[in-house]
A and B are shown apart, each in its own frame.
Chain A
Amino acid sequence: MSDEQKNERPPLSKEEKRKVEKHLKEVRKQLRKNLVKAYHGWWYWRTTLKKYKKLYKNKNDINRTAVVLMPEVNDRDNYFALRYLEQMLKQHKFIKAIILTDSEMVEKSASLFSKNIHAIVRCPRKNAEELMQFYCLYNFDKRFFCASLDEPYGRNGSRIVGTRGITAEEIFVIGVYRVYPYTRLSAPDYKKPKTSQIILRSVEQEPLTDDDMKILEFLKQGETADDEAAKNPPEEPISYTAKIVSGS
């Protein structure tokens, strides 16, 4: 193959070589750091599964348990993760889920969404990053779901939101949870603890606490998805024509 075809270049100057080596040193440093992080992520995964396996009577049930990491305190993604949890478990034939989260809201409201939560584990951001770094090393376990549109690094699901009228909710359900066909679910009713009264969003039955208000606010994520879909109608394709040049 000719040099022209291979698009070869003249050798780098001394200064250019120095810059390259400096850059590569930074990349090596990053690689080492991320490998150590991934190792810690592997360890965290291993110890978490071991700990919650003990809670099962039948130890093999851990193999049919989804592990859902909610890495952020982002209400939108956490709401989607909880709202469609039951569908995800059914689609993938899991019996229960272990939720890893640093969000108080998730801890307080998870039971509203599903009765099949084996455990909710407080997972600080540091552990979440280590687990996600391990996930970036390879897809280590089919039970693991990283419940975020934009994490781990490189997922960039938000880039597709709005294209052809596709909502964040649809991308989450179909792309992150891999549940199909997609059927939109509205928010569950909020049943106030220690009472059998169901509280409707627009009617106050008794004074609401701060916690109640926060949970109701969280449940409103379901309404926001409707507004988003209306704002993002399908788009027209861009057209163009090629140019023909006369022969050389």
Chain B
Amino acid sequence: MFPVLRNGLVEICGYREYAKFKRKFGVNCVICACAWEGTGDYYICGMYMKQWVRINNVSDYKFICLDSAKQRIVELFDSNTGKTYIPDSINDYWYVRWLAVFCNIDFYWLQYNSDDPDLARGVIQQVPVGYLPGYKGLEIVDTFVYGGFNLPRDIKPEIPEFDADSKIIDELFEKTKAQFYKTVLISPFTSSLTESSPPSELWQIIINELINRGYSVLTNCAANEEPLPNAKPILVPYRHIVPFLDAAGGFIGLRSGLCDIISTTKAKKIILHPYEAKYWPDGTSLKFTGLNHMGLCDDAIEFEAAPAWGNWEQIASDILRVFSQ
């Protein structure tokens, strides 16, 4: 009986947060959300919000964001400007999610997944990991579009707008002494695959050889992240990242949500998919989150690692072949 009471309290906490939201934003304002920490998840949601709002005749909504960085991702898509909300404590919205599973309320979790063992009533489990992600090529955008958003099969996503303000782009190059069309931005960090990082030697070999070939090499990192040796740190704002990369020439990234955001750059883009994964079966990263397979672009060069990065040397060699002298 105790678990029943305890979980009943969770529902009541969920109701309290839900009521707070409604008293702030009004009865017609619905709540939309995705996994709080998934950068790519916000981007995918941003792509389809406009269509979802139109098809479902939603008059007003707020998209819950973890912080201002995630907010900026959703608002890359013009139709979402002014439609995001950063609550004081996002963890309280976990209770609202529980309430939405228990009662029919206007809280929409726009990705189809079960990422909590106690909320495991969906068919696409991610905690614990199930086997539908990647099955027959089922990829993550499918789970959003058909599972979460429940949109028709011929739906087209909204196009994001990036800002190519030349003053800002020039400043970024100036600050790091990087070269136009001969700079490679490396993104070695990921929030959802932290156990699957490649050996540091892979980055070192790539960075040192690129420098020998006359390239400028930068690490995309926040203030609390350590840049890679010999690769200057830079944090390119999301709104400028695609124009920045178009001017830089190259991107190499460990599979993360940032790869979704930069998917439309004309620069050479190389994505490394680890074998081990936390939220989908091992060995399915390319099938579940590959940029080309998801239809986000058709020119990404994607590598899939062997277990425990057993083929990292081959990968390093293949990457260097992409960037000629």
Chain A: residues with CB nearer than 8 A to chain B?
1, 5-7, 9, 12, 16-17, 19-20, 22-24, 27-28, 30-31, 34-35, 38-39, 42, 133-140, 146, 149, 152-157, 159-160, 163-166, 170-171, 174-176, 178, 180-181, 234-235, 237-248
Q: Do residues A163 and B146 form an inter-chain contact, with CB atoms below 8 A?
A: yes
Q: Do residues A244 and B162 form an inter-chain contact, with CB atoms below 8 A?
A: yes
From A164, A175, A241, A244, B164 is in contact (CB under 8 Å) with A244
CA distance A16 to B264 in the complex (A): 43
Chain B: residues with CB nearer than 8 A to chain A?
1, 3-4, 7-8, 11-12, 15, 18-19, 22-27, 62, 68, 71, 82-86, 99-105, 112, 117-125, 130-132, 135-139, 141-143, 146-147, 150, 153, 155-157, 159-168, 242-243, 246, 263-264, 292-298
Known: A38-B4, A166-B135. A155 touches B123 (CB 8 A): yes
Known: A7-B83, A31-B103, A245-B164. A154 touches B124 (CB 8 A): no
CA distance A153 to B100 in the complex (A): 10
Task: Identify which of B84, B103, B112 gathers the most chain A CB atoms within 10 Å of its CB.
Answer: B103
Q: Do residues A9 and B146 form an inter-chain contact, with CB atoms below 8 A?
A: no
CA distance A28 to B226 in the complex (A): 49
CA distance A19 to B296 in the complex (A): 42
Tally of contacts, chain A with chain B, CB under 8 A: 202
Which A residues lie within 8 Å of B102 (CB)? 31, 34, 38, 133, 136-137
Q: Do residues B295 and A136 form an inter-chain contact, with CB atoms below 8 A?
A: no
CA distance A123 to B174 in the complex (A): 72
Given A7-B83, A30-B103, A31-B15; 14 other pairs, CB 8 A cutoff: A1-B68, A6-B86, A9-B26, A34-B103, A38-B8, A38-B102, A139-B121, A155-B122, A160-B138, A175-B123, A241-B297, A243-B161, A244-B246, A248-B165
CA distance A186 to B104 in the complex (A): 38
Q: Do residues A247 and B136 form an inter-chain contact, with CB atoms below 8 A?
A: no
Known: A174-B132, A178-B130, A180-B131. A246 touches B295 (CB 8 A): no
User: What are 15 contact pairs spanning A and B, CB under 8 A?
Assistant: A7-B82, A7-B83, A9-B26, A19-B27, A31-B12, A31-B102, A139-B119, A149-B123, A154-B100, A159-B150, A160-B123, A160-B147, A163-B138, A174-B132, A248-B165
CA distance A140 to B3 in the complex (A): 8
Q: Do residues A163 and B27 form an inter-chain contact, with CB atoms below 8 A?
A: no
Which A residues lie within 8 Å of B27 (CB)? 16, 19-20, 22-23
Which chain A residue shows the least CB distance to B243? A244
Q: Do residues B123 and A27 form an inter-chain contact, with CB atoms below 8 A?
A: no
Known: A237-B294, A243-B160. A153 touches B104 (CB 8 A): yes
Known: A16-B27, A175-B132. A160 touches B146 (CB 8 A): yes
Q: Do residues A159 and B112 form an inter-chain contact, with CB atoms below 8 A?
A: yes
Q: Do residues A243 and B159 form an inter-chain contact, with CB atoms below 8 A?
A: yes
Known: A160-B124, A237-B295, A247-B167. A154 touches B101 (CB 8 A): yes
Which B residues lie within 8 Å of A17 (CB)? 23
Known: A28-B15, A242-B160. A159 touches B121 (CB 8 A): no
CB distance from A176 to the nearest CB of B (A): 6
Which A residues lie within 8 Å of B147 (CB)? 156, 159-160
Which A residues lie within 8 Å of B296 (CB)? 239-240
CA distance A102 to B179 in the complex (A): 71
